[in-house]
Amino acid sequence: MTDFSELIDRRHTNSMKWDVKDNELPMWVADMDFRTLPAITEAIQERAKSGIFGYEEVPQAYFDAVQGWFESEHSWRSETAWMIFSTGVVPTISSSVRRLTNVGDNVLIQAPVYNIFYNSILNNGRHVLSSDLVFDDQGTYHIDWDDLEAKMAEPLTTLMILCNPHNPVGIIWSAETLARIGELAAKHHVVVLSDEIHSDITAPGKGYIPFASVNKTNEQNCVVAVAPSKTFNVAALHAATVIVPNEGLRAIVNRGLNSDELAEPNSFAIPATIAAYTKGHQWVHDLRAYIEDNKQTVADFVAKNVPGVKAIAGDATYLVWLDTSKVGMPSDKLEQFIRDQTGLYLSAGSVYGGNGRDFLRMNVACPKERVLDGLERLKQGIAAVK
């Protein structure tokens, strides 16, 4: 059993997250500080014993494992014939943008949202069109349906990238919401690309709903991208699965992934993923409970000790969205100020667009001791703002 409270020194290990000064505590990028599922490590070690790492194909066992995981964990039995191996969710998004849209088209998003979406759109000569999520007086986000439909109806809008569950806000979209998005997308001939990389990290008892599972309309007009990378902290293994039920759409996406050389696995990606999806059920349930406790610790501490800051409630991801609108400093400047003053390294909400300029994002997928350290630094940093 994994000890999620174990403090592991990741400095000087080529970790992007931990490439920081000695006094700094990184709680920014979505990378966990927990050891992965032991069965994954064992599968990698077993594969390494052969000493031969030539070109490999993706076996049926891989797709069976993905199918089994989503059926047991998320009540969705997707056909293995719908699945394509990819080296990552972000590469899949960029490839799909190139294949499913034309230069100059609008790609619709819902800001504030994962900042790399912007890169995948702009770097490929497309336009970002955001139907910003509305932040209400109760501290919750919701969709402006009139605005969403108006932007879907624009002739140059051909693709929507949905974040399901939503990063950084932490929303688990309901079946009703997903059905309504799917209905509007089909009506206006907009394909939905659903990034579901955070699907497994939800509060205990609150599962997410795959976009394609809601109804036939959604199923036949979407590209779903999933991966074990966030769930099991194996991003560097480069393994993802693209699920496209519509045969014609799947052929287009598949050709793009192959043309972009994104469909060939490394030697450890396959056995590691199979191990994760066949042996990781209890580990993930334990992880969810630990992360939820960390998130509650943040919410309680901030409410009692950090005036002007509020933790926004979210049932998904291991990322806490902190409302700093009352502090009086834009998040990009505030993030740097806190880092300079205390060594706490958070993500500035401004990079996510929308009203993100009033927020900071904190990664709490780490031992509670580090969470408490980060909270004390946050308290100190906010108190130092004049």
Instruction: Return the amino acid letter for 358.
Output: D
Confidence grade of residue 87 (pLDDT, cut at 50, 70, 90): very high
Q: How many helices (H) and strands (E) does the chain have?
A: 13, 15
Tens digit of pLDDT for each residue in 189-213? 999 999 999 999 999 999 999 999 9
Q: Is the pTM of this model over 0.95?
A: yes
- Is the Cβ–Cβ distance between 241 and 84 less than 8 Å? yes
Q: Is the pLDDT of residue 184 over 90?
A: yes
What is the chain's mean pLDDT, rounded?
97
Q: Is the pLDDT of residue 386 over 90?
A: no
- Is the Cβ–Cβ distance between 132 and 355 less than 8 Å? yes
Taking the CA of residue 126 as centre, how many other CA atoms within 13 Å lie in the half-sphere pointing to its CB? 30
Q: Please, which residues bridge with residue 223 across strands?
A: 193
How are strands ordered across the β-sheet holding 191-195?
83-86, 240-243, 222-226, 191-195, 157-163, 106-109, 127-130
Domain range annotation of the chain: 25-37+281-384, 41-278
Chain-centre distance of CA 64, in angstroms?
A: 23
DSSP string for residues in 249-274: HHHHHHHHHHHTT-----TTHHHHHH
User: Dihedral, CA atoms, 132, 361, 36, 171, nearest 10 degrees?
Assistant: -40
Counting residues of the chain whose pLDDT is more than 70, the rounded percentage is: 99
Does the domain at residues 25-37+281-384 carry the CATH identifier 3.90.1150.10?
yes
* Closest CA relative to residue 379, chosen from 365, 362, 367, 366: 362
The Cα–Cα gap between 167 and 303 comes to: 22
The Cα–Cα gap between 176 and 122 comes to: 31
The Cα–Cα gap between 315 and 173 comes to: 10
The strand pair at 25-26 and 344-345 is best described as parallel
Tens digit of pLDDT for each residue in 231-290? 999 999 999 999 999 999 999 999 999 999 999 999 999 999 999 999 999 999 999 999
For 41-278, CATH number out of 3.40.640.10, 3.30.70.3270, 3.90.190.20, 2.30.30.90 equals: 3.40.640.10
* Closest CA relative to residue 254, chosen from 63, 83, 79: 83
